[in-house]
Amino acid sequence: MNRKNIALFLAMLMLASSAVGCSDSDKDENPAETSADTVVETETETERPYADLPETDMGGADMTILVGYNEEKWPPDTVGVSKNEFAAEELTGEPVNDARYNRNQLLNERFNCVISSVDQNEKNNRNVLHPDVTKAVDTLMMAGDNNYAFMLLQGYSTCQMAINGTLNDLNSMQYLGLENPWWDQKANADLTVMGKLYYTTGDISTADNDATCTVFFNKALAADHAMEDPYQMVRDGTWTLDAFLELCEATSLDINGDGEFTENDQYGAMIWDDITMAVVNGAGIKCAEVDADGKIALTLNTERTINALDKYIPFGRDKTQCFQYQRHGSAADTLAIQMFSNNQAMFFMQLMQMVPKLRDMDADFGILPFPKYDEAQTEYYNTVGSWHSVFFCMPFGNIDTDHSTILAEALACEGMYTVTPAYYEMTLKNKSARDEESAEMLDIIFETRVYDLGWYYQFGMYNEEVMNLFRLNYNAKEFSSMYASKEKKALDEVNKANEAFAAVAGN
C-alpha cells in the first residue's frame, strides 16, 4: 500500500466515522453514519485521488465476498485471528470495525447493493486450511455455482488456482485501476508472471499488514542496558544482522544464576521458526522471483543466503541467547507474550498481527523493520508470511464482472481513506506502538515488503527445508547440500508452473 498520502488526510479524518466516497458525488454526508463526528473540510481534501468509476445502480444485488485463510489459534485451544474484513455488522466503537462498517454502508448506498461475506473458517467451525478452501472453490466452479463477487483467499490457495488457470488476470479487468495508490505496487510487481497478475493486495485488505514480519523491542530493557537507539540505527542504515546479534548477546542473562536458561531467564531474542525465511528475505534474497523474461526463476542459492543463515542459525540455536518458544508446548504463543511483557527478552521477532496481543504490556515496546544483511544494502526488506497471507482474486464465473470490479475498486479506494488509517494510525500508532518513532518505522516496514513466489509456491519445499536447517540444528553451511538435494524437484516444479502460466497466457 502507498501510505504517503495518509498524513494529508489525518487532519480531516475522524477515524471512527469518516465517510468520504470514491467519486465527487460521494462527498455528501453518509446517511448510515450514527456518530456525531463529521469530516473537517481542509485544503488537502482536493488532493485526494478518486477512483475512475461509472455511476452504477446494482439494483439491490447481494454482492457476497468469499474469505478464506489458514487457521491460526492463539493459544491452540481458542479461536484464531479472523481475517474476514467485510463482516462488520454494526458500529461498536472499535476503530477498524467502525471504519469497515462505514465503508460498507457508504458503498451499499452509492451502488444500491448489499455487501456481505462468507467466512470459510466460521462456516466450517474454525477448522480450515488452504487445501480445503481450494477444493471448495474448485467445486463451486465445476458446478457453475460461483456467485461470489470476488474472493480474498490465503496465498497457497491463490497460487494453486493461478496455475490451474481458474483466476482472471486482474490486469484485464476493466474497472480495476491497479496502478492506483490503493493497490500495493510491491505486490503487483512481485506477483506478476508473464505479464499477468492473478492475485494481489492493497487497501481492500489489512491482512497484508498483519502478515508482515517485524521486530519488536522492549524499551525498558533497552534503557537498562544503555542500548544504542535502534530507531536511529534504522535511519542511519546501521541496523544490520550483525548489529542485531551483538545487541542480543549483550542482553542475555541467567537471572537466577542456576547455570541453565529456562523460561525464567532473560534473552536477547524470542524467535519463531518462520523467521528463518524472513532472515533470507531481509538479506535481499528471494527463494524465487520473476526474471527479465517474465518467468519464475529460482534465486535462493547464493553466497549471500549462506552467509546470512550462517550468522542466524547458530545464534537462533544458542539457548543462552534465544528463547525458541515454539519448542514449549501448546501454549507457546501465550508464554512468549508473557515473557516479552515481563521484560524477559530484548527483541521479539514475529508478525505485525502480534501487536494487539502486546497492548496490555506495562513496559513500552517499539517496532523495527527486519535488519539488513550489511550496511551496503540500500533497503530494508520485510517478508509477508506465506502461511498468513491473504490475497484478492477473481475466479471465473463471477455473477457480474463489471459490478464485481467496480465494487472491488471502490472498496480499495475507500479503504485507503478510512480502514487503513483506522488500522494504521489509531490501532497501531496511537494505541499499541506507543511512540511516534515506531510510527515512522511502520512507514518503512510497509513500504519495503517482500512477496516471495518461492515461499508461496513452495518450490522444492525450500520454505520448510530452510526452516529445518534451524529446527534440526544443522550447520548453515549444510545449506548447499540441502539445496542440491531438492534442486531437481524444485526446477521441475518451476518449469511446470511456467508452462502452466504460458498456457493460460496464450488463451
* pLDDT tens sequence across 42-60: 434 457 788 999 999 999 9
- The least confident of 17-21, 127-131, 303-307, 453-457 is 17-21
Mean residue pLDDT across the chain: 85
Which has the minimum average pLDDT: 141-145, 202-206, 241-245, 402-406? 141-145
Per-residue confidence band for 154, with pLDDT thresholds at 50, 70 and 90: very high
Are residues 138 and 124 located together in one domain of the fold? yes
Q: How far is CA 68 from the centre of its chain?
A: 15
Distance CA 154, CA 158 (A): 6
Are residues 411 and 361 part of one domain? Answer: no
pLDDT of residue 477: 66
Q: Is residue 364 domain-resident? A: yes
Tell me what pLDDT residue 140 has: 83
- Helical ranges in 344-478 per DSSP H: 401-417, 419-421, 436-447, 453-457, 462-471
pLDDT at 27: 36
* Higher pLDDT, residue 401 or 432: 401
Question: Rounded to an integer, what distance in angstroms lies between the CA atom of residue 382 and that of residue 212?
Answer: 7
Check if the beta carbon of residue 479 is closer than 8 Å to that of residue 309: yes
Establish if 262 belongs to a structural domain: yes
Query: What is the count of structural domains for the chain?
Result: 2
Of residues 24 and 151, more confidence is placed in: 151
Q: Do 92 and 165 share a domain, yes or no?
A: yes
235 and 315 belong to one structural domain: yes
The reply to whether 43 and 178 lie within a common domain is yes
Q: What region does 393 belong to: left with phi over 0, alpha with psi -120 to 50, or beta?
A: beta
Torsion, Cα 192 197 199 201, to 10 degrees, reads 70
Residue 441 lies in a domain: no
Residue 443 lies in a domain: no
Same domain, 98 and 162: yes
Residue 474 burial (CB < 10 Å; 0-12/13-18/19+)? middle
CA torsion angle for 463, 308, 391, 130 (degrees, to 10)?
A: 20
The pLDDT assigned to 126 comes to 56
Structural domain span for residue 181: 6-210+390-433
CATH at 59 = 3.40.190.10
Kindly tell me if the per-residue pLDDT of 11 is higher than 50. Answer: no
Q: Are 194 and 57 part of one and the same domain? A: yes
| CA dist list (Å): 12 to 43, 88, 364 | 10, 23, 29
Q: Are residues 249 and 346 in the same domain?
A: yes
One-letter amino acid for residue 407 of the chain:
L
Residue with cell 508478525: 351
Q: Which CA distances in Å does 2 have to 186, 215, 326, 436, 452?
A: 9, 21, 34, 19, 19
Residues 6+ apart with CB under 8 A from 145: 397
Q: Is residue 244 a part of any domain in this protein?
A: yes
Model confidence over 163-218: pLDDT tens digits?
Answer: 999 999 999 999 999 999 999 999 999 999 999 999 999 999 999 999 999 999 99
Q: Is residue 1 part of a domain?
A: no
Residue 33, pLDDT score: 41
Model confidence at 507: pLDDT above 60: no
The pLDDT, as a whole number, for residue 432 is 60
Question: 10 Å Cβ neighbour count for 248?
Answer: 20
Closest of 265, 415, 245 to residue 339, by C-alpha: 265
Which residue is it, cell 466503537? 93
* 25 is a domain residue: yes
pLDDT at 246: 94
How far, in Å, CA of 305 to CA of 327, rounded? 25
Same domain for 307 and 414: no
Select from 51, 349, 315 the least CA-distant residue to 217: 349
Q: Do residues 416 and 340 share a domain?
A: no
| pLDDT tens digit sequence for 309-366 | 999 999 999 999 999 988 877 678 889 999 999 999 999 999 998 888 887 888 889 9
Same domain, 110 and 185: yes
Q: In terms of residues, how long is the chain?
A: 507
Are 193 and 286 in the same domain?
Answer: no
C-alpha 494/C-alpha 413 separation (Å) is: 35
Residue at 438: amino acid letter: S
Q: Does residue 438 lie within any of the structural domains?
A: no
pLDDT value of position 14: 32
Residue 290 has pLDDT above 60, yes or no: yes
pLDDT higher at 121 or 86: 86
- Between helix 275-282 and helix 303-317 the angle, nearest 10°, is 140
Lowest mean pLDDT among 124-128, 190-194, 213-217, 463-467: 124-128
Per-residue model confidence (pLDDT) at position 10 = 38
